[in-house]
A and B are shown apart, each in its own frame.
Chain A
Amino acid sequence: MKKIIISFFIAALLLCGCVQKEILDDVNLETGVGYDLVKEKIRGTALVPVYQPDKSVDNKTFTASSKLSRDFLNDVQRQSPDPIVTGSLEVVLFGKELSERGILDLIDSFQRDPSVGAGLYLAVVDGESKKIIQGNYGNRGTAIFISNLIRHNMLTKDVPKTNLQLFLSDFYQIGKTSYLPQLKKKGKNQIMISGISLFKYGKVVDTIPGNKMFFFKLLVDNYSEGTTEVKIGKEIAAIQSVQSKNDFKLSRSPRNEVDITLKINAILNEFSGNKVTKKEVGEIEKKFKKDVERECMQMTERFQKQKIDPIGLGHFVKSKTRNFDIKKWWREDYPKLKVNIKADVTITESGVIE
């Protein structure tokens, strides 16, 4: 018995030094990274927060250029006093030029790395991502600021649900293409979400401007919230969607028509006119319905022309068709597909005043 105990302790002693330790105070946590295309090379900017004694956060950035994204991390390691670890990465930004050339190789490394979480936010930058990464936005750190910015707009406003998992899932989905939010630097220390970038095989081919994001979200997300404006004559009404549901239906034979029904429950937030009576609400509803149908229609036509499918119509048709032929779908069926959009709008409340 004694022997066993002694040998156990020896084994325990030997095992102690077996693996590399990573103590939180002795590593640099990379929370954000931006990639740009500069002179045919990929320039990466890693963002590391430095926590100050007065609880504020300093943003330190490291920049390096290379052909492979992992190489970039090596170069950056040579500039950093502590090892940089990717475990708490929150946001990854891609510069405009780079995203038009393709970001797949870069995404691959995030997918491969076991320490990177699936809830990571990806975004495209209108301009250079380095400029955004190097900005200072409040005292909680740049990465936290950007990820909070995206999260809150995703949960309560017009940005469709997005993260690394959803991006990859859409990318590999048969009959669907992926999309990411687009950021833009507004002032020296201000950024904003300026639209949605649409991808085709990992390259940005089109961008939906910020004021149309509301309609885009209606098409791609169930239960979306968001705000938009409706113009009636000279008056303007601000409408907030509280709840929405999109329902797809495929026509029987021939199976070349998809009916999309958008059910929207909305409230009236603001109205520039004098009075909001039943008649006015009815008019706003009608106009809003028309707006939604027109905008969504234009959007789907635009997608069909560019042969991208962020709504996942191909995926939808596949789930209704046996022996679905994806090559034929992209080549012949999708451009010819007839999409009918019907909006079903109910304005339930018009605020606390009458």
Chain B
Amino acid sequence: MDMEQQHTVADKLKVSPFLVFFLIHSMQVGIGVLGFQRIIALTAGYDAWISVIFAGLSIHLILWMMYKIAETVNGDMVSIHTYIYGNKVGKLLSLPFVLYFCLIAVTIMNGFIEVIQVWMFQDLSTFWFSVAFLGLAIYIIYGGFRTVTGIAFFGVILPLYLIFTFFFTFPYADFSNLLPIFDHPIKDLLKASKNMSLTYLGWETLLFYYPFIKDPAKSKKWAHGGVMFTTILYTLLTVTTFAYFSEGQLQKNVWATLTMWKIVQMPFVERFEYIGIANWNIVILPNVCIAIWCASRVLKRTINIKQKKGVILVSLVCLVGANLFKSRNQLNALFTLSGLIGFYLNYVYIPLLFVAVMIIKKVKNQ
């Protein structure tokens, strides 16, 4: 068919394969980590750590499919769509992704603003904070995809020390909370896995920055490594949480991860949550940057808006979106919505794409 559609990226704009590790991991870890334990324990009790591992493993399968698809069409999501549906319909069907990534950016940003408002400053203005945060994101994205990747790199490395703070909970941990293992039916475990998959979301962005990876075949192991690192981290966090809280107590805490920091006491800081939450800014910054970058990239590829303009446009949409959701209930609805869309996108739509691409490839080869 038409080869002029192949959108190529100049080599100097590409990133090294190993950086995919940070891109994927930083996008996966966002606002969900702060409170996912309660939600998975609600369905699968304290067996839910099995669901964490299971959901983590399932990602590798989808990731494998994603690489197969991307290799076949040698391009990003828009190329995949044009490959399957043809030029016009393909581009039209790619447009909803702009909204999806706006939704992701708003979800993450609002989730974080809510945390600041509840834990630190009740009177923090949602509007001004989102203005400042989006301004920063625009500034980073103006540096190009390589800068976004750099932020993702630091977004993983700098807050990594936070892992050690969870050792403070060990003197109060009771690991017999986790016994007996497999006390819940498989059905509940699967349900919890589905809920858990929402916390893992974010690796689907790979299909959007795929053309920006130098030597994509080499990046495979790093992508899988990034997902595995997230899985290990989440599993350890889940087990630590379950040992620290009794089951009834966990259900009371909306942000279990933050509540665990309440026990941390150091000579120079009375309450560690404040440092932790401030640090979380660095954790969610790459999330918002990558999401907005993806949205503006799709705009550029489909309706030919310059990315610099696209970023502003997307950020404005995010700014409006961020100020629409304010109360606990609205935010909960927002989280559920973006989680559901993300789930069906990753676990239903991508496998369907995989099947379609494989069939078309066979047909074309004949």
Contacts and interface: CB of A to CB of B under 8 A. Distances in A.
A151 to B, nearest CB: 12
Contacts of B131: 11
A320 interface: yes
A111 B121 contact: no
* Overall SS of chain A's interface: loop
Interface string A156-173: 000000000110111111
Contact of A321 (B180, B247, B248, B259): B180
Interface in A65-114: 87-88, 111, 114
Interface in B114-167: 118-125, 128-129, 131-132, 135, 139
Contacts of A168: 249
Contacts of B6: none
Contacts of A19: 121, 123-124
A87 B252 contact: no
Given A8-B135, A169-B249, A117 B180 contact: no
B39 interface: no
B247 A174 contact: yes
Contact of A169 (B120, B129, B172): B172
A322 B262 contact: no
A52 interface: no
A50 B139 CA distance: 48
B78 to A, nearest CB: 30
A170 B246 contact: yes
Contact of A166 (B122, B172, B273): B172
Contacts of A173: 246-249
A322 B262 CA distance: 33
A172 B251 CA distance: 10
B281 to A, nearest CB: 14
A118 interface: yes
Interface stretch (B17-25, B196-204, B263-271, B328-336): B263-271
A4 B132 CA distance: 12
The interface centre, meaning the residue of B131, B135, B271 with most chain A CB atoms within 10 A of its CB, is B271
A277 interface: no
Interface in B166-207: 172, 174, 176-177, 179-180, 183
A11 B135 contact: yes
Contact of B262 (A4, A14, A117): A117
B245 interface: yes
A87 B120 CA distance: 11
Contacts of A274: none
B183 A323 contact: yes
A353 interface: no
**What class of interface size applies to chain A in its complex with B?**
35 or more
Contacts of B244: 165, 169
A175 to B, nearest CB: 10
Given A18-B124, A19-B121, A172 B248 contact: yes
Given A172-B246, A172-B252, A87 B270 contact: yes
Those 3 A-B pairs whose CB atoms lie nearest each other, nearest first: A172-B248, A319-B179, A173-B246
Contacts of A4: 139
A114 B180 contact: no
Given A4-B139, A18-B128, A174-B248, 16 more contacts: A11-B131, A14-B128, A118-B259, A118-B262, A119-B265, A165-B244, A165-B262, A169-B172, A169-B174, A170-B246, A171-B248, A173-B246, A174-B247, A319-B176, A322-B183, A323-B183
29 contacts: A4-B139, A11-B131, A11-B132, A15-B132, A18-B121, A18-B124, A18-B128, A20-B121, A20-B123, A87-B270, A114-B119, A115-B271, A117-B271, A118-B259, A119-B263, A165-B172, A165-B244, A169-B174, A169-B244, A169-B245, A170-B246, A171-B249, A172-B248, A172-B249, A172-B252, A319-B176, A319-B177, A322-B183, A324-B183
A117 B180 CA distance: 31
A70 B121 CA distance: 19
A101 B270 CA distance: 33
A114 B249 contact: no
A118 B263 contact: yes
A133 B88 CA distance: 77
A165 B122 CA distance: 24
Given A20-B121, A165-B263, A15 B128 contact: yes
